Amino acid sequence: MMNFNFDSRLFWTVFNRAIEHYHSIDNVDAPLDNPYEEQKIEHYLYRKNWIDTVQWHLEDIIRKPDIDPVKALEVKRRIDKSNQDRTDLVEFIDDYLFDKFKNIEQQHNATINTETPAWAIDRLSILALKIYHMHCETVRTDATDEHVAGCKRRLEILCNQQSDLSQAIDQLLEDIAVGKKYIKTYKQMKMYNDPTLNPELYSKKQ
């Protein structure tokens, strides 16, 4: 077993705490009130899911058919910033994990995983939101029986995905902890938000 105090059960607990907290307020402008101490992984996981949860609802808002175009552009800009914040935080969590595992002695045949631990954890955060909202659809009293039944089937699939992904994350962390796999941190190098790399931005200055 891992000698570290984190695994998918902890991640899932923190994500769902953030989701429940957000929906007790249900306001995309609500300030983040992080209950976890900074420097601990729970703090960054909670913040990560809060970003995801707010963005989930911004994505709903921007799809309103009668949304004012000016408002839609404002929301789109906010989603763009949220995506960058999300990416930055995932990369930060990878750096955090890299530091935690840096003294692990790697086996001579250690391999690298197709995705980093934090990007797998990112997928778990999104899955927590999908499960929460799909469950909400299964208890609607204003929906048809067919809608509810279909959402229950989808919810079952999502729960199976959560079980599989959690197991895969734990296996990856275990393999890193015993030196069978190793972490390399990568940066996404997103160009469209960088005024020095997006030609639509830097060409306007010339």
What's the average model confidence in pLDDT over 140-157?
Answer: 97
* Burial (Cβ within 10 Å: 0-12, 13-18, ≥19) of residue 143: middle
pTM of this structure: 0.90
Q: Looking at 2-6, 19-23, 104-108, 142-146, which range is the least confident one?
A: 2-6
CA-to-CA distance for 133 and 146, rounded, in angstroms?
17
Confidence of residue 1 (pLDDT cuts 50, 70, 90): very low
Q: Residue 194: is its pLDDT beyond 80?
A: no
User: 66-79 as b/e, with b when 16 or more CB fall inside 10 Å?
Assistant: eeeeeeeeebeebb
In the chain the first and final C-alpha atoms are separated, in Å, by: 58
Identify whether the C-beta of residue 21 lies closer than 8 Å to the C-beta of residue 33: yes
* Model pLDDT for residues 30-40, shown as the tens digit of each residue: 999 999 999 99
pLDDT at 189 (0 to 100): 66
Helix H segments across the chain?
8-25, 41-62, 69-101, 117-138, 145-177, 199-202
Question: What would the two tokens of residue 21 be?
Answer: 């907290």
**Short-list 53, 55, 46, CA closest to 81:** 55
CA-to-CA distance for 12 and 166, rounded, in angstroms?
9
CA-to-CA distance for 112 and 181, rounded, in angstroms?
5
CA-to-CA distance for 111 and 99, rounded, in angstroms?
18
CA-to-CA distance for 130 and 193, rounded, in angstroms?
27
pLDDT at 185 (0 to 100): 77
What's the average model confidence in pLDDT over 34-50?
Answer: 97
What's the average model confidence in pLDDT over 158-164?
Answer: 98
pLDDT at 187 (0 to 100): 74
**Percent of the chain with pLDDT strictly greater than 90:** 83
* Stronger pLDDT, 2 or 30, i.e. the higher one: 30
pLDDT at 4 (0 to 100): 66
Q: Residue 2: is its pLDDT beyond 60?
A: no
CA-to-CA distance for 82 and 56, rounded, in angstroms?
10
pLDDT at 184 (0 to 100): 83
Mean pLDDT in the chain? 92
Half-sphere exposure of residue 63: CA atoms within 13 angstroms, side-chain side:
6
